[in-house]
Amino acid sequence: MADRLTTITTRTGDDGTTGLADGSRVKKTHHRVHAMGEVDEFNSQLGCLLAQLQVNANQPVIAAVIAALKPSQHALFDIGSELAIPGYTQLTQQQLDHLDAAIAHFNASLAPLKEFILPGGAQASTQAHVCRSVCRRAERAVVAVAEQEPLSDLAQQYLNRLSDLLFVLARTINQALGYTDTYWQKA
């Protein structure tokens, strides 16, 4: 990857357009560009969560959470490439299977929910909820692209499943760090 990104400032987007990876140019308000931005923001939030988790990485459960989430940053980049190259597929079924296995693994140690929970508890747990909600927004943007143009079903499925995993991990993080979930109380 030597010198792949040697020029960061190209000025080609000064007119309100951006280049897709296939060489075409579209407005920065284009639904593909919007979805790429949502996925990118989500990846940044996920990076914040992983950085927060590093503080407690010596705890086995937190280390397992980190190991389960780290591949997702690469998968989100893969989704970005699918958005940037119309007709291109990068995600694999194995990436989706990894999420399903992680959900089953972490959920097995949690008490069944009897009520809705609110973001709260440990800071990293709260950040996991932020990631979950930003993931859902990215998912909606990707679905909007898929409604208008061909796009891999795996991209939508991956984001849907990753938001589920983040919910489970928010609870797992609280449990591992000695916090309780914050239950919604009906008025």
Report the greatest alpha carbon distance in the chain.
59
Residue 127: closest CA among 186, 56, 75: 56
pLDDT in tens, 16-30: 666 666 766 766 567
Residue 166: closest CA among 57, 43, 74, 59: 43
Three-state SS string over 93-139 comes to HHHHHHHHHHHHHHHCCCCCCCCCEECCCCHHHHHHHHHHHHHHHHH
The residue among 18 and 157 whose pLDDT is bigger is 157
Q: What is the pLDDT of residue 104?
A: 98
All domains in the chain, ordered by first residue: 24-86+94-108+119-177 (1.20.1200.10)
The single residue listed with the structure tokens 């190991």 is 67
Q: What is the pLDDT of residue 28?
A: 58
Confidence tier at 68 by pLDDT (50, 70, 90):
very high
Identify residue 123 by its one-letter amino acid code: Q
The mean-pLDDT minimum among 25-29, 54-58, 176-180 falls in 25-29
Other C-beta atoms within 10 Å of 108: how many? Answer: 8
pLDDT in tens, 71-111: 999 999 999 999 998 888 999 999 999 999 999 999 999 99
Other C-beta atoms within 10 Å of 97: how many? Answer: 11
